[in-house]
Structure 1
């Protein structure tokens, strides 16, 4: 890192403070994601590899990482300097420090189940392996802090718009349905019959939009973020990579693992993340939120919405 003029680079100022290793890596990742659209094709290849292979960047040689990213070592050096580092080694130090406290490893439990199960049909267990691994990657110290930040943004907002189309509509619907029980000003954006822009026009700088999107990214979701961003709406994005077109301009970004043997991306991690964020909102929000939940249940029971069992 350059010590001669730290104020010339905002990233250097942040990284010279006493931050946790995961926070320092998060700062670098955010800078990479923000810069990504403007990078040259070679730097994009390098940045994409760095964002998606932090463990390899931490412990591989620069030549091996460059070969894996299909770029030259000098391209990785240029990327490191683009991020404000004096050398690639200092850039890599951030990754080495952060990966020491990795995610909770749950995939081993699924492997244990596989060893116990005697079957010639591995599909069921393959889905289990992927599910354990995806959830394990979600529960990190870094995400814990980010979940609390997301809850604060939502609690401070006047209204919350929730956006997700096609494969992530289930995520948006779940967030809006469950969240609205405690916080009535959460609104699911459906965009039916060409009404997307009309639905979004009522949100402004006092509001927040929560958007979900995995590759292949829906044009409607990108458009929704462009429209709300132009109106000053703050955004929380849940996506699969920091190279996602939903990331630029977001106040908070969650990248969730969605690998699965199934033909559609898994939404398990996204649904679990939703539950964590909404639970945080109720835990740290005003008492009225708890009252809203109790009132909802009372109304549902009065209307006969639930079937009672003896």
Structure 2
């Protein structure tokens, strides 16, 4: 959400005490909930005392949390309706109403999160990333655990249209080797969501020392990787279940690749056709 108060939170984030950082991140990552829920319920979901939200609001120049919430409410009125469910409530509803409610809640969350990718700020971030990648000498991709499939998808589909892709996947203990040649002509796409990997940050920081441009596909504009990246593409991951989702990350990668293919024009189509012909010949029975 593009609000002056959100920019103020981001600017002051590193100087906030630990619990206030937790509260600040809740505000930035859940603008609809900030506008709609009571302070006590938000404190419960953010896992901080209600007084922390009050202190944060005053630190931002408001008389109290209610005044801050009004600012978010005015901003949210201009946005499409977002999913605002809570895991405990959804699980309870599933137990009471059956499997249909569980599936419905999950699909509703997907619909909301995928719609977020069509917001102007996200489109601008995707377009900026595409511009960097179409000019890059090398595009490195990294993602660990649940983030790996999205990084691998970028590598796989990018290779099909003849992009200079390199996947940092750690096979044979050679995880770092590909980055030894990184330079300012290169781009590193980092897929990183909670719980964040310290190793992923080490890779990103190393790439930054080589002046490579960092593109973060992450779940928060205040995540560790976002703070060191040139471009941040935010994807929602929280779900009305015990698991988080990577579906929006996959969709973001596919949108990014579509933009890159459009920029490359006929050369992308020719590369794709050549790759498909080679694969058909390889696997022909």
Shorter-chain TM-score: which interval? 0.7 to 0.9
Q: CA RMSD in A?
A: 3.5
Q: What is the aligned counterpart of 1:52 among 29, 43, 47? A: 29
Shift of 1:102: 1.5
> d(CA) in 2 for partners of 1:72 and 1:259?
21
> d(CA) in 2 for partners of 1:51 and 1:105?
14
Q: For residues 36-75 of structure 1, what are the structure 2 equivalents within 5 Å?
A: 36-57=13-34, 70=49, 71=52, 73-75=54-56
Q: For residues 234-253 of structure 1, what are the structure 2 equivalents within 5 Å?
A: 234-253=213-232
Does residue 228 of the first structure (1) align with residue 172 of the second (2)? no
What per-residue deviation string (whole Å, max 9, x for no partner) do you get for residues 169-225 of structure 1? 111111110111113301111123332222221111111111111211122211111
Which is further off, 34-43 or 166-175? Answer: 34-43
Does residue 160 of the first structure (1) align with residue 143 of the second (2)? no
Q: What is the aligned counterpart of 2:258 among 256, 267, 279? A: 279
> d(CA) in 2 for partners of 1:143 and 1:167?
22
SS at match of 2:238: coil
Does residue 198 of the first structure (1) align with residue 187 of the second (2)? no
Q: What is the aligned counterpart of 1:137 among 91, 116, 120? A: 116
Q: Which residue of 1 aligns with 2:99?
A: 121
TM-score, normalised with respect to structure 2:
0.78
Does residue 77 of the first structure (1) align with residue 58 of the second (2)? yes
SS at match of 2:217: strand
Q: What is the aligned counterpart of 1:182 among 161, 182, 204? A: 161
Contact 2:54–2:65 (8 Å) recurs in 1: no
Q: Which residue of 2 aligns with 1:4?
A: none
Which is further off, 38-47 or 141-150? Answer: 38-47
Gaps of 5+ in 1: 1-21, 108-118
Gaps of 5+ in 2: 85-96
Which is further off, 218-227 or 261-270? Answer: 261-270
Contact 2:39–2:53 (8 Å) recurs in 1: no
SS at match of 2:188: strand
Which is further off, 289-298 or 201-210? Answer: 289-298
> d(CA) in 2 for partners of 1:34 and 1:203?
30
TM-score, normalised with respect to structure 1:
0.72
Distance change >3 Å, CA 42–CA 261, structure 1 → 2: closer
> d(CA) in 2 for partners of 1:50 and 1:259?
15
Distance change >3 Å, CA 152–CA 94, structure 1 → 2: farther
Q: How many residues align?
A: 268
Which is further off, 258-267 or 64-73? Answer: 64-73
Shift of 1:263: 4.3
Q: Which residue of 1 aligns with 2:246?
A: 267
Contact 1:36–1:44 (8 Å) recurs in 2: yes
